[in-house]
């Protein structure tokens, strides 16, 4: 049974928790993208670099988020940074393979043609390689973003505010309303964000069929 009066009384707090959840979800995605793209480019440029970097990223991703949160507590305290650092690591781990696979998917004939037209070095990377790799990279970005939105809730276990606070509160008081509200909001946030990323992907890759790579 949902207590609608509790929702109306706590609307301001729920709104604040939603903003915190958004911040803790999207900042690591932005930072992870800034790290993963140049790192992926380096791994494609120097192939021997990719295996050790990939293994390290897999190992780090395998560590439960709550373990990394607790590990960082003595250094960063109960702060946003304690959540942002591990979530950025997870984002890089998820995005790295997408960047490498996307860049490796560029047809060598296309590169040769671009070279013939004078597209070389950074000019070709930005004007040819990355646009062609964009669908694969954006697919990885969608997965990383959805993962972050879900994992942010775990940060509430160590006192970092997010929509996970609603789960903790409801569980401690055996009160279903905040748990249901938390589930609905996290799900809605993930769905709206994914739709936004699909729209971005379509705008960035207008040559793809509407039903493809979505």
What is the pTM assigned to this prediction?
A: 0.85
Q: Which residue has the tokens 């373990």?
A: 67
Q: What is the DSSP string of 80-145?
A: HHHHHHHHHHHHHHHHHHHHHHHHHTS-HHHHHHHHHTT--HHHHIIIIIHHHHHHHHHHHHHHHH
The 10s digit of each residue's pLDDT in 126-172 is: 777 888 888 899 999 999 999 999 899 888 888 889 999 999 999 99
Per-residue confidence at 37, pLDDT binned at 50, 70, 90?
Answer: very high
Instruction: Look at residue 22 in the predicted model and tell me its pLDDT.
Output: 94
Fold of 13-204: MetI-like fold (1.10.3720)
Domain ranges across the chain:
13-204
């Amino acid at each position: 049974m949902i207590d609608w009066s509790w929702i109306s009384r706590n609307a301001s707090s729920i709104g604040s928790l939603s903003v915190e959840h958004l911040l803790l979800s999207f900042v690591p995605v932005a930072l992870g993208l800034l790290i993963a793209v140049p790192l992926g480019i380096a791994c494609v440029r120097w192939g021997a670099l990719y295996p050790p970097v990939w293994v390290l990223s897999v190992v780090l991703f395998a560590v439960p988020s709550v373990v990394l949160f607790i590990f960082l507590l003595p250094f960063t305290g109960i702060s946003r940074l304690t959540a942002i650092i591990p979530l950025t690591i997870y984002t890089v781990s998820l995005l790295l393979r997408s960047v490498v696979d996307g860049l490796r998917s560029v047809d060598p004939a296309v590169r040769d043609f671009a070279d013939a037209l004078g597209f070389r070095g950074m000019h070709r990377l930005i004007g040819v390689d990355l646009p062609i790799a964009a669908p694969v990279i954006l697919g990885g970005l969608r997965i990383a973003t959805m993962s972050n939105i879900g994992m942010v809730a775990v940060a509430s276990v160590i006192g970092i505010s997010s929509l996970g606070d609603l789960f903790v509160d409801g569980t401690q008081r055996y009160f279903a309303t905040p748990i249901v509200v938390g589930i609905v909001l996290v799900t809605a946030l993930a769905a709206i964000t994914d739709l936004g990323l699909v729209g971005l992907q379509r705008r960035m890759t207008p040559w793809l069929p509407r039903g493809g790579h979505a």
